[in-house]
Amino acid sequence: MNIGEIFKKELGKIKLSDEEYKNLEHLSSLVIESINKKLKSKKIDAKVFVGGSLAKKTLIKKPKYDVDLFLRFNKKYSEDEIKKLCKRIFFFFRIPGYSSKVKRIHGSRDYYHVHLKKNNVIFEIVPTINITKPEEARNITDLSYFHVSYVTKEINKNKKIRDEILLAKSFCYSQGCYGAESYISGFSGYAIELLIIYFKSFKKMIEDLSKTENKVVIDMSKHYKTKEELIKEMNPSKMKSPIILIDPTFKKRNASGALSYETFNNFKIASQGFIKHPGEHFFDYNKSKGDELKEIAKRLEITYSVFEIKTRKQEGDIAGSKLLKFSKVLTRNISKYYTIIGHNFDYEGGKTAKVYYVIQKKKEIIIIGPSIHMKNAVEGFKKKHPIWYTEEGRIKSAKSTDITLKDFLKQFKKTHKKIMREMSIKKIKLV
């Protein structure tokens, strides 16, 4: 199957029908109607608009949908007033005829989730300020209105762009690099849309980006005359990501600022793999992140294991970030006893994450002691480890090991009680 056929088949899987869009738009209108009633009864000066992928019709088909609704408050309100007004709006909030659940999510500006359980749709309702110029923004979310307007305008110029965006989102989602959340550090939906508008196609995007070795700088609206001017005027904190993608709606913002080098490297590897050996599996986001590692372990006839970690923190970005951070502590400790062939962190919401490993037991572990020039410390090390040797200017000792994963976990939980408590980890187990 060639690339064109793969793209055609993938679009058939991920593209929403007109009827599916109408259903989501209908549900959105019901939520908006309920919000508007609250705004009117409480005399709050604010308007609601549909944003994100639904507004641009760049949603990919998934079992569960997240729909962005933006609540634009009059800029006369202070941040404290907006917080209080939101509490009034969403107190005892109901959608007539639908079973729903409302949850406040803490962030730089608190927002709300309205979950329509039966329809499996979560409406993310984000408070923003009704501004006319991007420069008036108090928070990054205040720019959302301009983002929708820009992308929609560009898609209307070239209708084929929408399908290319869908392919790019599906690929990035499947490869674990879709999402600006800190536990993903990937491409936001808006960044993907901008990259496709710039490169014109998904194929061109992955071909060009997968070849890059240095930092990529893209100023598609030519806000800056030269690269030097851009570097001089941009805030250094906005220049840390591997791609500097100047927001066409606001020249002082890097639209891909959340992207980490690690995630970008994973994206490049996946892109290179697809270009060399095109296959549908590159778009298979229903496949567990552990499936591929399980296959590798089976092929190499070595150990495959899964650890489940649970946090006390608020689900979403806070929980995901905390779980990711703790998983790195876990990985670092496993590597003392096992050679890690591959591992993958998987967080899909809630308060629980899984970490998948393909590992091979080490015959011995190396205990690294002090520099050979630190005489007192060296003597102390020798007393504790009678069998020792020097290497690279340090004293070291090798110790044979035959620790099982169950024994490792028991020992780990015992020695890391304080860290688990500090990092709000409630539970860790082998599954």
CB atoms under 10 Å from CB of 26, counted, come to 9
When pLDDT is averaged across residues 414-428 and rounded to a whole number, the result is 94
Tell me the pLDDT band of 286, cut-offs 50, 70 and 90.
low
Q: For residue 70, give the nearest of 106, 132, 115, 112 by alpha carbon.
A: 112
Q: For residue 285, is pLDDT > 80? A: no
More confident residue, 342 or 11: 11
Q: Where in the chain is the domain with CATH 1.10.1410.30?
A: 158-285
CATH code for the domain defined by 291-363+401-430 = 3.30.70.60
Lowest mean per-residue pLDDT among 132-141, 156-165, 226-235, 306-315: 226-235
| Residue 133 clears pLDDT 80, i.e. is over it | yes
Q: Report which of 48, 35, 184 is spatially closest to residue 96, judged by C-alpha positions.
A: 35
Position 15 pLDDT exceeds 80:
yes
pLDDT, the chain, mean: 92
| pTM of this prediction exceeds 0.95 | no
Assign a CATH topology to domain 158-285: Poly(a)-polymerase, middle domain (1.10.1410)
Q: How far is CA 404 from CA 18, 35, 71, 302, in A?
A: 54, 56, 53, 13
CA angle 136, 139, 142 (to 5 degrees): 65
Please give the average per-residue pLDDT across 273-290, as a whole number. Answer: 84
| Topology given in CATH for the domain delimited by 364-399 | Alpha-Beta Plaits (3.30.70)
Position 86 scores a pLDDT of 96
Flag whether pLDDT at 125 surpasses 90: yes
- Check whether 16 has a pLDDT greater than 80: yes
CATH 3.30.460.10 spans which residues of the chain? 16-154
Contacts of 265 (CB under 8 A, 6+ apart): none
For the stretch 347-375, pLDDT in tens is 888 899 999 999 998 888 888 899 999 98
Q: Residue 287 above 70 pLDDT?
A: no
The share of the chain scoring above pLDDT 90, in percent, equals: 72
User: What integer pLDDT is reported at residue 299 of this predicted model?
Assistant: 84
Higher pLDDT: 430 or 315? It is 430
Residue 315's pLDDT band (cuts 50, 70, 90): confident
Q: Tell me: pLDDT of 71 over 70.
A: yes
Express each pLDDT in 317-335 by its tens digit: 889 999 999 999 999 999 9
pLDDT at res. 106:
87
What DSSP designation does 98 have? S
Q: What are phi and psi of 418, to 5 degrees?
A: -65, -45
Predicted pLDDT at 366: 84
* Residue 291, pLDDT score: 78
Residues of the chain with CATH 3.30.70.60: 291-363+401-430
Q: Domain 16-154 in CATH: superfamily? A: Beta Polymerase, domain 2 (3.30.460.10)
